Structure 1
Amino acid sequence: MKSCEIVGWGSVLPPDAVRFGDEVRYRIAEDVSHLDMLAGACTRALEHAGIGIDDVDLVLGASAAGVQPIPCTAALVLERLTLAGHAAAFDVNSTCTSFITALDVASRYLDAGDHETILVFAGDVGTRFLNPAQRESYELFSDAAVAVVLRRSADAERGVIASAQQTWPAYAHDTEIRGGLSRSPAQIFADADPADYLFDMNGRRALLGMMRVLPEFFERFHAKSGLDYDDVALWVPHQASAALGPMLDRLGIPEDRRVDEVARFGNMVSASVPFMLTRALESGRIGAGDTVILCGTAAGLTANILALRL
C-alpha cells in the first residue's frame, strides 16, 4: 500500500455542447484556451481542499497534448497559480491514461515522504486537433479538465494498493498526431502534410489490439494484487469509445459496478478517468473505504490499471 488520499478536486466542462444523434460532446469556446481550462480546474481543486498553491509541493501535469513544446504544461499552469511558492512542476505523459500514471507517480513520492501535498491535473482540447473528414474520431471527443489534490494519508489502509502499466509497440501508430516537435519542426511546416497535424486513428485496428492484450493484462494484475472482483466497489475506465461496454463485458466487470458514460460525455482524453472518478465521488457512488480501479488503454498501445482505496 502506497499511502495517499484525495483531499480535493475540481473540474471544468465547457458549457457548449453538440449532439451527434443521441450522443453529447463538449467543445471548448474559441475565446477560451487549454491553459484557461487547466488552471481553472486546479483553482477549484485547491479551493475544495481548503488550501492555497503555496501549500503544494509538486504540480504534476497529466495532459495527453501539452500547451506548447517548452516549457512543460505543469510549469505554465503553476505560473497561472503563483509566481512564488516552492513547488516543483513537471509533466507525465501516457496520453489518454496520463492521469493514472501521474497518480501512481504521486503516490510513490507521498509514500516515500518526499512530498506532503501534490496537485495533479489532466485535460485536453482534443477537438482542436480533429479532422472533420474522419467522422469516427470527429464525433467521439469532448474537451474537459480535472485536477485533484493528494496528500499522504494518516490511515494506513488508504492509498494505492497496486498498479501496472505496459506498452505494446506493434500498435504504436494506430492512434497518433504525427506533426510537430522534432519530427516536423517549424522550419518545414509550409511543406508538411496538413493531415499530419490532425488526429488520426485506425479505430478498428486499435480496438482489435486492445481486445487481444487486455484480458491477459487484467488477469496478471489481479493475480499480482490479490484483489478479487468482489473487492472492487467501482471500475472507472477510460471512456475510449462505444466499444467500452462490450470490452468491459469481455473482462467480466459487473455492469452495476462500472462507469460507462461515453454516450453522455464522449472521450475526454486525459480528463476521462479523473472526470468520472470525481463525478462518482461527488454523487456519493463511492466514498471512504471503497476500493476503486482506474484503468484504460492509450496510444502506444499502452494499458494502465491502478487500484486505489479511498
Structure 2
Amino acid sequence: MRNCEIAGWGTSLPEHAVRFGDEVRHRIADDVSHLDMLVDAAEQALRHAGIAAEDLDLVLGASAAGVQPIPCTAALVLERLTLRGHAAAFDVNSTCTSFITALDVASRYLDAGDHDMILVVAGDVGSRFLNPEQRESFELFSDAGAAVVLRRSTDPDRGVIASAQRTWPAYAHDTEIRGGLSRSPAQAYASADRADYLFDMDGRRALLAMMRVLPEFFAGFHERSGVSPDDVALWVPHQASAALGPMLDRLGVPADRRVDEVRAFGNMVSASVPFMLARALDAGRVGRGDTVILCGTAAGLTANVLALRL
C-alpha cells in the first residue's frame, strides 16, 4: 500500500453541447482556452481540499495533448495559480490514461516522503484536433478538464494498493496525431498534409487489439496484486467508445459496479477517468474505505490499471 488520499477534486465541462443522435458531446467555445479549462478544474480541487496553491509541492500535468510544446502544461497551470510557492511542475503523458499514470507517479512521491501535497490536472480539447472526414472519431470526443489534490495519508489502509501499465508497440499507429512536433514541425506544414495534424484512428484494429490483450493483462494484475474483482466497489474506466460495455462484460465487470457514460459524455481523453471518479465521489457512489479500480487503454497501445482505496 502506498499511503495517500484524495483531499479534493474539481471538474470543468464546456457548456456548449453537440448532439449526434441520442449522444451528447461537449465542445469548448472559441474564446475559451485549453488552459482556462485546466485552471478552472485545478482551482476547484484546491478549494475542495482547503489549501492554497502555495501549499503544493508538485503539479503534475496529465493531458494527452498539452497547451504548447514547451514549457510543460503543468508549468503553465502553476503560473496561473500562483507566482509564489515552492512547487515543482512537470508533465506525464500516456495519452488517454495520463491521469492514471500521473496518480501512480504521485503516490510514489508521497509514500516515499518526498512530497506532502500534489496537484494532478488532466484534460484535453480533442475537438480542436478532429478530422470531420472521419465520422467515427469526429462524433466520439468531448472536451473536459479534471483535477485532484493528492496528499500523504497517516491512515495505513488508504492509498494505492497496486498498479500496472503495459504497452504493445505493434499497435502504436492505430491512434495518432503525426504532425506538430519534430516529425512534422510547424514550419513544414502544407495544406496537402493537413490530415497529419489531425487525429487519425483505425478504430476496428484498435478494438480487436484490446479484445486480444486486455483479458490476460487484467488477470495478471489481479493475481499479482491480490485484489479480487469482488473487492472492488466501483470500476472507473476510460470512456473510450461505445465498445466499453462489451469490453467490461468480457472482463467480467458487473454492470452495477462500473461507470459507463459514453452516451452522455463521450471520450474525454485524459479527463475521462478523473472526471468520472469525481462524479462518483460527488454522487456518493463511493466513499472512504471503498476500493476503486481506475483503468483504461490509450494510444501506444497502452493499458493501465490502478487499485485505490479511498
Q: TM tier, shorter chain?
A: over 0.9
Question: Could you say which residue in structure 1 is the equivalent of 2:246?
Answer: 246
CA contact (8 A) 1:130 1:138 kept: yes
Question: Could you say which residue in structure 2 is the equivalent of 1:304?
Answer: 304
Question: Could you say which residue in structure 2 is the equivalent of 1:69?
Answer: 69
Report the secondary structure of 1:162's partner residue: strand
Question: Could you say which residue in structure 1 is the equivalent of 2:153?
Answer: 153
- Distance (Å, rounded) in 2 between the aligned partners of 1:168 and 1:272: 22
Question: Could you say which residue in structure 2 is the equivalent of 1:41?
Answer: 41
Question: Could you say which residue in structure 2 is the equivalent of 1:190?
Answer: 190
Unmatched segments (≥5 aa) in structure 2: none
2:60 is equivalent to residue 60 of structure 1? yes
Unmatched segments (≥5 aa) in structure 1: none
Aligned-pair distance for 1:229?
A: 1.0
Question: Could you say which residue in structure 1 is the equivalent of 2:114?
Answer: 114
CA contact (8 A) 1:241 1:266 kept: yes
**Corresponding letter in the other structure for 1:214:** L
Question: Could you say which residue in structure 1 is the equivalent of 2:269?
Answer: 269
- Distance (Å, rounded) in 2 between the aligned partners of 1:191 and 1:240: 30
CA contact (8 A) 1:184 1:192 kept: no
Report the secondary structure of 1:4's partner residue: strand
Residues 169-226 of structure 1 show CA distances to partners (whole Å, capped at 9, x for unaligned) of: 0000000000011001122113761000000000000000000000000000000011
Give runs of aligned pairs for residues 143-182 of structure 1, distance below 5 A. 143-182=143-182
Question: Could you say which residue in structure 1 is the equivalent of 2:282?
Answer: 282
Question: Could you say which residue in structure 2 is the equivalent of 1:98?
Answer: 98
Aligned-pair distance for 1:83?
A: 1.1
> Identity of aligned pairs, percent?
82
Q: CA-atom RMSD, angstroms? A: 0.7
Relative to structure 1, is the Cα distance of residues 114 and 191 closer, same or farther in structure 2, using a 3 angstrom cutoff?
Answer: same
Question: Could you say which residue in structure 2 is the equivalent of 1:28?
Answer: 28
**Corresponding letter in the other structure for 1:162:** A
Q: Which segment is superposed worse, 182-191 or 204-213? A: 182-191
Question: Could you say which residue in structure 2 is the equivalent of 1:209?
Answer: 209
Report the secondary structure of 1:293's partner residue: strand
Aligned-pair distance for 1:164?
A: 0.1
Question: Could you say which residue in structure 2 is the equivalent of 1:127?
Answer: 127
- Distance (Å, rounded) in 2 between the aligned partners of 1:103 and 1:120: 7
Residues 2-49 of structure 1 show CA distances to partners (whole Å, capped at 9, x for unaligned) of: 011001011100001011011000000110000000011101110111
Runs of 4+ in structure 1 off by over 3 angstroms are none
**Corresponding letter in the other structure for 1:106:** A
Number of aligned pairs?
310
**Corresponding letter in the other structure for 2:99:** F
Q: TM-score, normalization: structure 2?
A: 0.99
- Distance (Å, rounded) in 1 between the aligned partners of 2:66 and 2:166: 22
Report the secondary structure of 1:132's partner residue: coil
Residues 229-259 of structure 1 show CA distances to partners (whole Å, capped at 9, x for unaligned) of: 1100000000000000000000000110000
Give runs of aligned pairs for residues 218-237 of structure 1, distance below 5 A. 218-237=218-237
**Corresponding letter in the other structure for 1:259:** V
Question: Could you say which residue in structure 1 is the equivalent of 2:51?
Answer: 51
